[in-house]
Amino acid sequence: MKGIQPSTHPHLLAILVGVVLLPSTIHAQPDVMANQNHAPAGDLRNGVLTIHLEVGKGNWHPEAEDGMAISVFAFCEAGHPLQNPGPLIRVPRGTEIQASLHNSLSVPVDIHGLGTSPDALVHVVPQATEQVKFVASTSGLFFYWGATEGESLIQRHGVDAELTGALVVDAPDADKNDEIFVIEMISDRPGPGGRQTVATINGKSWPYTQRFNYGIGHQARWRWINATNEPHALHLHGFYYHIQAFNHAGKVETFEGEARPLVVTQRFTQGETFDMSWSPGRPGRWLFHCHMLIHMNPPIVPSLPGLTVTPAANVSSHSARNDAMGMGQLVLGITVPDSSNSARATPWHADRKIQLEIHDRESAPRFALQVRDGSESSTSPEPGLIGPPIVLTRAEPVEIEVINKTKEPTAIHWHGIELESYYDGVPGWTGGSQTTPPIRPGESFVARMTPPRAGTFIYHTHWHDGTQLLNGLYGPLIVLPKGGKLDPASDRTFVFSLGDFGALYDLGLINGSPQSKTLQLEAGRKYRFRLINISTNNQGIQVSLRDPTGPVEWRVIAKDGADLPANQVHTGKAQLTITVGETYDVEFTASRPQDLLLDLLMPAQKIHATQTLVFAAASPENH
């Protein structure tokens, strides 16, 4: 770290922790160019694609081209620069692919994914060339990847973690007007336990990732490849998106019409790919990002064998210095211009005005929240880590004034709500002619919205500091149908999160408490359970409702605030994997008096929390 001054680029300060600097070594290598997957590689003639791939080592720039460089292994097409991700292979279904694979490294490399089976593997020793031939007979989105130590995809996390390329097999009627994104990641350890990461989309980390400018009504088709060693939770601000196809272990499932899942957040695990479509309906600036906090903060390059880094050539010129309050890594920016060129047709009028006050606490947890709705007031539980519910009505215009009475700035995002960009809650980014400001100590910000659908949503901090999310700056946001009322006798919300309890470290929470009180319910009554994951990095929380023999049954009726179409509503075992930023609504009726256990498991951290639900016989007055 000699020579690095405190005033330099904030991203650079984050990434150089524990990394060996070897400028003379790294500058002797060629550059690795970012690949946006727009131009297919190889020579396609008469139904045969011929492609010559090479594996080499070069200097990769995950941020600016004159920014920091990390030495990594990468693919290229023979005679062309190294690329990250590797060259795009794109062919019509039925094409024969003839590939030569040359290894210019001093270590052997296993290349996976070039064949008719997901387990296809070619071992290439140093300075050797191998040939592979296969027919691309299944339409869909796939990828090829390399490892130098015989690792599985889940184990790969170091200098070879950028050895990935997209493989697209088009059906005869395929729409090729798409964007293909490859997520890659270097991390301090394999699997979901990594906390030092350099995660990128098509070889770049925000704010250097691709930017998109779409007109209102534009039909966007995005295709995603998870080539990292852990799952991700991909969230779109301001709009819903449809899942068009999902590829798990080489088995491609496609969805049509109403069968397409409608989501604002989608989990996909190691080695999976999926296709999504969406269309912006309102102007402004929006985000698409992984909802894991660790993957939307500036990167931290871990200290690993063979991984060297040089600092940026000119840190003062980088636009990331003040960009969007410290975001980084797995984030995309979308701009939708306002083409109306006219003022709002009708003046804004709020039918309701709500205040959300954020206060400091003297001890852990650090924050307390209070909601005032006219003459009614509710506050955070003591000493729980959760804000009071905010209950809105579909199609009712409302103003929510967020009042910051703490000693640090913040911002509140209305997760899943379709609203104007300025009120979406990402300081320094969202908005149009005006950019959303941070809510500084002693200041307030008024968010306006008219929720277009009833469902289960979340309000939470969008300040990129884990302490706020670990200290209770979030709560359930419930939107009821017109004329509806929240009936606590049959409508229950369960918020799953992670809390900082000082000397007790991080604890798994159900409704803000690490050991929730027994909940008294009634047998024979139909309940709506609203399930919310607003933890930090817990992309695979496992939630179940169990009796002594295992999970009982419930009926899944909604996801991410959107009611499921009738053909997707299903009854099954009461167990769900809920990623961070997801919500589910389920219906459940206990047929007899019994005690059930609501079980919360965070597998990566091995954190466990439970709550007992006691279903008693109905009292006579309830009949």
* pLDDT tens for each residue of 221-232: 999 999 999 999
Weakest-pLDDT range from 311-325, 364-378, 435-449, 601-615? 311-325
Q: pLDDT digit string (tens) for 240-288?
A: 999 999 999 889 999 999 999 999 999 999 999 999 999 999 999 999 9
Separation between Cα atoms, residue 353 and residue 449, nearest integer Å: 11
Q: How many domains does the chain have?
A: 3
Q: Which segments within 443-535 are labelled E, that is strand?
A: 444-449, 455-461, 474-480, 491-500, 506-510, 519-522, 526-533
Closest CA to 112 of 159, 75, 65: 75
Query: Which amino acid, 108?
Result: P
Q: CA geometry: angle at 226 spanning 224 and 228, to 5°?
A: 150
Q: Which of 452, 486, 520 is the last residue of a domain?
A: 486
Whether the per-residue pLDDT at 382 is higher than 70: the answer is no
Closest CA to 285 of 182, 207, 199: 207
Report the CATH number at residue 582.
Answer: 2.60.40.420
Do β-strands 241-248 and 251-254 pair in parallel, antiparallel, or remain unpaired? antiparallel
Mean pLDDT, residues 377-392 taken together: 84
Separation between Cα atoms, residue 145 and residue 126, nearest integer Å: 17
The helix or strand, by DSSP H or E, that contains position 101, with its residue range, turns out to be: strand 95-103
Separation between Cα atoms, residue 576 and residue 533, nearest integer Å: 11
The confidence band for 365, taking pLDDT boundaries of 50, 70 and 90, is confident
Q: Is 5 helix (H, G, I), strand (E, B) or coil?
A: coil
Q: Which segments within 511-618 are labelled E, that is strand?
A: 519-522, 526-533, 541-547, 550-551, 553-559, 562-563, 570-573, 575-578, 583-589, 594-602, 607-616
Query: Are the C-beta atoms of residues 399 and 374 closer than 8 Å to each other?
Result: no
Long-range residue pairs from 14-18, CB within 8 A, at least 24 positions apart, any chain:
14/297, 14/298, 14/299, 14/300, 14/328, 15/68, 15/198, 15/298, 15/299, 15/300, 15/301, 15/309, 16/68, 16/301, 16/309, 16/311, 17/196, 17/300, 17/301, 18/196, 18/301, 18/302, 18/303
Range of the domain at 514: 487-623
Indicate if 282 and 136 belong to the same structural domain: yes
Assigned domain for 246 exists: yes
The answer for residues whose C-beta is within 8 angstroms of residue 623's C-beta and 6 or more apart is: none
* Top-confidence residue, 216 or 1: 216
According to the model, what pLDDT value does residue 13 have? Answer: 38
Indicate if 412 and 500 belong to the same structural domain: no
According to the model, what pLDDT value does residue 319 have? Answer: 44
Whether the per-residue pLDDT at 3 is higher than 60: the answer is no
Query: Are the C-beta atoms of residues 588 and 492 closer than 8 Å to each other?
Result: no
Q: Which of 486, 510, 539 is the last residue of a domain?
A: 486
Phi, psi (deg, nearest 5) at residue 312? -65, 150
Q: Which of 486, 514, 537 is the last residue of a domain?
A: 486
Separation between Cα atoms, residue 377 and residue 359, nearest integer Å: 15
Assigned domain for 212 exists: yes
Closest CA to 277 of 338, 216, 356, 222: 222
Whether the per-residue pLDDT at 443 is higher than 90: the answer is yes
| pTM as predicted | 0.93
Indicate if 141 and 268 belong to the same structural domain: yes
**Rounded CA Rg of the chain:** 25
The confidence band for 116, taking pLDDT boundaries of 50, 70 and 90, is confident
Indicate if 503 and 435 belong to the same structural domain: no
The helix or strand, by DSSP H or E, that contains position 468, with its residue range, turns out to be: helix 466-470
Cα-Cα-Cα-Cα dihedral sign, residues 196, 198, 200, 205 = positive
Q: Is 257 helix (H, G, I), strand (E, B) or coil?
A: helix
Whether the per-residue pLDDT at 618 is higher than 90: the answer is no
Indicate if 385 and 505 belong to the same structural domain: no
Assigned domain for 466 exists: yes
Indicate if 460 and 539 belong to the same structural domain: no
According to the model, what pLDDT value does residue 597 have? Answer: 97
Q: pLDDT digit string (tens) for 487-530?
A: 999 999 999 999 887 666 788 999 998 888 899 999 999 999 99
Mean pLDDT, residues 386-409 taken together: 96
The answer for residues whose C-beta is within 8 angstroms of residue 169's C-beta and 6 or more apart is: 91, 92, 93, 95, 136, 137, 138, 139, 140, 142
Q: Which two tokens stand for residue 518?
A: 């027994």
Indicate if 527 and 564 belong to the same structural domain: yes
Assigned domain for 414 exists: yes
Q: What is the largest CA-CA distance in the chain?
A: 83
According to the model, what pLDDT value does residue 281 have? Answer: 96
Weakest-pLDDT range from 37-46, 289-298, 310-319, 606-615? 310-319
Indicate if 130 and 153 belong to the same structural domain: yes
Question: How far is CA 65 from each of CA 34, 35, 77, 343, rounded to the nearest angstrom?
Answer: 9, 13, 21, 40
Weakest-pLDDT range from 502-506, 580-584, 605-609? 502-506
**Mean pLDDT computed over every residue of the chain:** 91
According to the model, what pLDDT value does residue 460 have? Answer: 97
